[in-house]
Amino acid sequence: MKVFVWERVDKCSDSYHEAGGVVVFADTLDRAFEIANVGGCQIRRDEEPDEVREVEGGEAVYVMPDAGCC
């Protein structure tokens, strides 16, 4: 299992401030894209993760949209 960290992607939510960070625990980068890109999150294939590390555990997705001003 790996953890893929995107410090900032252009669209991680359908909210007014749609950019933000995404952390995905998955076996492969393809699977990370697949499970992250549900709902409002749309990580593009050219948005490579900023960090990838080996970890223990199961799949998970954490989306952290920008809070913005409102």
pLDDT reading at 12 higher than 80 = yes
- Going from N- to C-terminal start, the domains of the chain cover 2-65
Left (φ > 0), alpha (ψ -120 to 50) or beta: where does 62 sit?
beta
pLDDT digits (tens, 9 = 90+) for 27-57: 999 999 999 998 889 999 999 999 999 999 9
- Contact status, residue 43 vs residue 6, Cβ threshold 8 Å: yes
- pLDDT mean across residues, the chain: 93
Q: Taking the model in full, what pTM does it have?
A: 0.89
